[in-house]
Structure 1
Amino acid sequence: MSVRMLAFLLCLWPLTLLAQGFSGLGSEAESGFASPAPNPVFSFPADHGPHPDYRIEWWYLTANLTGPDGTEYGLQWTLFRSALAAGEAAGWASPQIWFAHAAVTTPQTHFAAERFARGGIGQAGVTPAPFRAWIDEWVLEGPDFDRLRLRAAGPDFAYDMALTAKGPLVFHGEGGFSVKSAEGQASYYYSQPFFEIDGTLTLPSGAVPVSGQAWLDREWSSQPLSDTQSGWDWFSLTFDTGAKLMGFQLRQTDGARYSSATWIAPDGASTAFADGAFFAAPLQTTSVAGRDLPTRWQVRLPSRGVDVTVAAINPGAWMGLSIPYWEGPVTVEGSHSGRGYLEMTGYD
């Protein structure tokens, strides 16, 4: 087999993963992959880096930004690792597939772009210390996980941002062991939700200086969903009081929901809530990319007195990429006010 043909076949492998979309996260991992277990012991900075023995992993950054005239913007940068087999190897023998999404949302428009890479050849990867996550020229890097610089660009947008953490890491579920289904599927999941962010967005209309708050999620697993789950609705909300709420619900094929949430106090102290404590119900749908998507929600966490309306700043924030989904900034009104981010997957 020629080198050119081998390279062509290796480039085709990720398409089988992409064809599964987010629903593929419910497929059973092949033997050889590790599985998350209760009572994890994290080691930093090493755990900011990749875990090649697990099938799926991501570094997921979202940000709520404000321009000089008060206009609200959203920013997303995500680096995904998906493994064909457990472990790592040098060069083209690496079984690791990397891809990334970048997006900017304004009240009127939504821009998105994606990149793909093979592991082992230097085109993409993550190093924990000093921290660097990259794919081509898209990069999130800094001397450590608390001080980072983010750069990415698409055909119609670019951004160059500085991030500084002003609070601690937050571990979801049981000390970072986040259960996703009644059957016990789980991931390791922690966040840095206390980033202050500022920099420049470059849009077709020109450069815009912006500042705001950012939230970075870290998660890895080998089968994070049950095969009876089709997608999720995920909320990261920052209230004007300084408190924060992460909550998600996983939609079952029989119409049921499995939920989880983390309440984060202004000082970073967190309380985890298991299935049934967090509620999210659609209030209004919008036709987006041929789909009826909930873009206005009632979100409740009764034990913390949360009963809010969460509304998309731009209902058309559709990520029309190889794996399509909805992701965009939201406003929060009701018992608490603030802003945040909403992600919705599996709305085929």
Structure 2
Amino acid sequence: MSGERGARAWRSLIGSGTVLVLLLSLLWQGAWAQGYAGLGTGAEGFALPRPGVALDFPRDHGPHPDYRIEWWYLTATLRGADGRDYGVQWTLFRSALAPGAAEGWHSPQIWMGHAAVTSADRHRFAERIARGGIGQAGVTAQPFAAFIDDWQMSATGDGISNLRLTARGAEFAYDLQLSTEGPLVEHGAAGYSVKSRDGHASYYYSQPAYAVQGTLSLPEGPVAVTGQGWLDREWSSQPLSADQSGWDWFSLAFDSGARMMAFRLRDSRGDFTAATWVAADGSARALPDGAFRAEPLVWTEVAGRRVPTRWRLHLPAEGLEAEVAALNPQSWMGTSFAYWEGPVTVTGSHAGRGYLEMTGYE
């Protein structure tokens, strides 16, 4: 099939939401068959991260179409006027069928959004899927704005220092305002974050210090909330090795004012770990493979599988010996590729709150 006839057929197919889901399924289960969600599949034709490349702002707040996978990932731990604890997630993923940008129906980009509101007794989530190039989803760097359908993460000033965040699902909505209380943090070696012993890597930075206020709209009524937010930005084309089956990722804000990002990637050769410790003054220190350890303590039956929902964390370089427990152990994101994501509490040598993401548990 070629020429205008083929283009018309492609436009007809790709305009269907059902076919978008099919394409994503083929992409993740076929073309991305290695590693969790195929993130260990070879990246021929796509750009790969290189060490020594300085991140450039505000440009890098925007999309990188020469790379295969990218996300804008906001989580927040909140306290409601009703006295209850809540967690909020807002994520926009960009996945490329081919490298490079193009307009209209020629765009090779697929966008997916996830949103959730979590309390101790309920986990509500929603998903959106969109074509790139036709105005249904996208990101601009300056002024910063990320959107899919009517979900938005948009700047209310320069850069990403002040944001408005909105999303809605069948049983929830939220409208939140975020303002920074600290500097951006570049993970790894100045934003070059290694993910495996084979040297696979991503570009990765965070804004871990937002003050958050706004309103959750729930079936029982609106709830005013305040709390802390954390934005992760990451892009790559092959961030994992083929035998890495999933990860456990922690973003924690301690009562002392310090913060920590840490992850372990699981594979047949043993865990690969990394961490970034952010002091109360915003200064950050990257810690290498092996400096951080995470030990599952309690496993919970979640969506037909066993998932660790209480952990013991060790980071001797910072005197951290703490336990992390899920606010709601049933925080399962039953989306097109499923995973666990929810707020956690921290006790032990350091007390605080944060978020935990776990993938690859079957």
TM-score interval for Structure 1 and Structure 2 normalised by the shorter chain: over 0.9
SS in 1 for 2:39: helix
Match for residue 7 of structure 1 among 11, 14, 25: 11
SS in 2 for 1:183: coil
Report the equivalent of 2:213.
198
Report the equivalent of 1:211.
226
Residues of 2 paired with 1:211 and 1:151: CA distance? 15
Poorly superposed stretches of 4+, deviation over 6 Å: none
Report the equivalent of 2:83.
70
Report the equivalent of 1:306.
320
SS in 2 for 1:26: coil
For 1:75-126, what per-residue CA distance to the aligned partner results, in whole angstroms no more than 9, with x for missing partners?
A: 0000000001110111010011111100000100000100011111111110
For 1:315-348, what per-residue CA distance to the aligned partner results, in whole angstroms no more than 9, with x for missing partners?
A: 0000011110000000000000000000000012
Match for residue 93 of structure 2 among 54, 73, 80: 80
SS in 1 for 2:71: strand
- Between the aligned residues of both structures, percent identity stands at 60
2:289 maps to a residue whose letter is D
Match for residue 136 of structure 1 among 143, 146, 149: 149
Report the equivalent of 2:357.
343
Residues of 1 paired with 2:170 and 2:262: CA distance? 33
TM-score (norm 1): 0.97
Match for residue 56 of structure 1 among 69, 75, 79: 69
Report the equivalent of 2:17.
none
Report the equivalent of 2:41.
27
SS in 1 for 2:64: coil
Whether the aligned pair in 1 keeps the contact of 2:104 and 2:133 (CA below 8 Å) is yes
TM-score (norm 2): 0.93
Counterparts of 1:41-190 in structure 2, within 5 Å, are 41-142=54-155, 143-144=157-158, 145-190=160-205
Residues of 1 paired with 2:95 and 2:143: CA distance? 23
Whether the aligned pair in 1 keeps the contact of 2:49 and 2:192 (CA below 8 Å) is yes
Q: Which runs of 5+ in 2 are unaligned?
A: 15-19
Match for residue 296 of structure 2 among 272, 282, 285: 282
- Label 1:182 to 1:3 Cα distance change in 2 as closer, same or farther (>3 A): closer
1:222 maps to a residue whose letter is S
Residues of 2 paired with 1:116 and 1:79: CA distance? 10
**Equivalenced residues, count:** 346
Aligned-residue offset at 1:270:
0.4
Matched, 1:331 2:345: yes
2:248 maps to a residue whose letter is D
Aligned-residue offset at 1:2:
7.3
- Label 1:9 to 1:18 Cα distance change in 2 as closer, same or farther (>3 A): farther
Q: CA RMSD in A?
A: 1.3
Residues of 1 paired with 2:167 and 2:37: CA distance? 27
Residues of 2 paired with 1:79 and 1:164: CA distance? 20
1:234 maps to a residue whose letter is W
Aligned-residue offset at 1:15:
2.8
Residues of 1 paired with 2:246 and 2:37: CA distance? 6
1:37 maps to a residue whose letter is R
SS in 2 for 1:92: helix
Residues of 1 paired with 2:298 and 2:342: CA distance? 16
Residues of 2 paired with 1:18 and 1:183: CA distance? 22
Whether the aligned pair in 2 keeps the contact of 1:18 and 1:322 (CA below 8 Å) is no
Residues of 1 paired with 2:279 and 2:195: CA distance? 23
2:135 maps to a residue whose letter is G
Match for residue 259 of structure 2 among 244, 249, 269: 244
Residues of 1 paired with 2:235 and 2:227: CA distance? 27
Q: Which runs of 5+ in 1 are unaligned?
A: none
Residues of 1 paired with 2:149 and 2:203: CA distance? 27
For 1:190-213, what per-residue CA distance to the aligned partner results, in whole angstroms no more than 9, with x for missing partners?
A: 000010011000111111000100
Aligned-residue offset at 1:228:
1.1
Whether the aligned pair in 1 keeps the contact of 2:257 and 2:279 (CA below 8 Å) is yes
- Label 1:193 to 1:113 Cα distance change in 2 as closer, same or farther (>3 A): same
